[in-house]
Amino acid sequence: MFCSFLDSPLSPAMRDAVAHAGYSTPTPIQAQAIGPILEGRDVIGCAQTGTGKTAAFAIPMLERLTRADSPRPRALVLAPTRELALQIAATFDMLGGAQGVRTLVLIGGESMGAQLAGLQKRPDVIVATPGRLADHLERRSLRLGTVRIVVLDEADRMLDMGFAPQVERILQMTPLDRQTLCFSATMPPEVETLVRRHLVRPVRIEVGVSAKPVAKVTQRLYKATPQDKTPLLLKLLREERGRTLVFTRTKHRADRVARVVGAAGHRVTRLHADRSMSQRREALDGFRSGRYRVLIATDIAARGLDVPEIAHVVNFDLPHTAEDYIHRIGRTARAQASGCATSFASPEEHEQLRLIERHLGHPVTRASTVGEQAPRHAARITPAMHAGNNGA
């Protein structure tokens, strides 16, 4: 471990790249993971969302890739969603571009011809979603025999989305002596099974309690009928300021809520699987730049969405699992910032609320009027609560 990137085992060129990217002090997951990855060890990394997991594997991978030359591609990163894949690739470009490391993204919704042309340029790193990578393997436009490092990012989400068969096939097509890294915010039994089959004596790194929200998220709950949710959201948006991410259960509801929010005069956009890739890019770019203040999204945005200064996450509909709740509210209070997470719960969502609160280890603070701030001490996970849930 190290306390500063200046004290790290990275080369001067890599330290310069890290500094130029704006990294100064390593996060706990970065400080613990970089050393074992540089040594070529297999690694399982678990940490709360928003704690710098992407840089934790990207920095040492790029260091290893710049130390020696070999046939390409030399590294493969698998991600569950297109948005996360694009974000990972942007991190690799930012940290490795000046050193000549070329990264290619292979995701659905984009031109196969352009991707085939990109493969002809022999990229060093491929970042892909399992479905599109499987398409290329089926077409024999890509071989994985030269891959030396494989990363499974948000592996639990990939399995939840039904990608397990593709992931298994992809891993079987890579060399047995590869280095394998598995990073996620949660590590359910299905991922443990995958890890046992494909990782060799991995170093396990756990920072904090991975399936709990970060402490600086203030949580509050409004009991509301389905008919009351939209007026409640509009009142929240009127009375509070800042960038707001709203999660709905379905694509159709996201469209409907976005229309109402837009009609009320708010700068709003939508993000869900029925939108084209260009529309999804425009929505995210506009939300990041501030062109849109409000983003209405399905769980496609629950992971991999790294937008600075999201002041407020609103669960218009409660998610089906406590883990999804953690990932949703983790879109705020990132990089040591603070944020607010508000949930609307209808009587029909009582069971989801019960599961979420059991997972948290305490009730989410009820608020009676819009604009009322929940007591911070009631909504945060305290160190004592961490200790009390370590065996859960």
pLDDT given for residue 372 in this prediction: 47
* pLDDT band at residue 214 using 50, 70 and 90 as cut-offs: low
Mean pLDDT of 227-231: 96
* Domain assignment present for 212: no
Same domain, 234 and 377: yes
* Domain assignment present for 166: yes
Same domain, 83 and 143: yes
Same domain, 253 and 202: no
pLDDT reading at 6 higher than 60: yes
pLDDT reading at 383 higher than 60: no
* Domain assignment present for 175: yes
Mean pLDDT of 173-196: 87
**CATH number of the domain that 111 lies in?**
3.40.50.300
Give pLDDT tens digits for 122-152. Answer: 999 999 999 999 999 999 999 999 999 999 9
Same domain, 87 and 172: yes
Instruction: Round the CA-based radius of gyration of the chain to a whole number and report it.
Output: 21
Q: Where a domain ends, among 207, 231, 256?
A: 207
pLDDT reading at 380 higher than 50: no
Same domain, 192 and 315: no
Beta bridge partners of residue 345, listed in sequence order: 223
Distance CA 38, CA 88 (A): 19
Same domain, 304 and 328: yes
Domain that holds residue 225: 217-389
Same domain, 83 and 156: yes
Same domain, 290 and 201: no
Domain count, the chain: 2
* Domain assignment present for 259: yes
Give pLDDT tens digits for 98-126. Answer: 889 999 999 998 999 999 999 999 999 99
Q: Where a domain ends, among 157, 184, 207?
A: 207
Same domain, 381 and 259: yes
This prediction has a pTM of 0.76
Same domain, 176 and 320: no
pLDDT given for residue 142 in this prediction: 96
pLDDT reading at 3 higher than 70: yes
Where do we find the tokens 């939209």? 230
Rounded mean pLDDT of the chain? 87
Mean pLDDT of 239-258: 95
Mean pLDDT of 3-15: 90
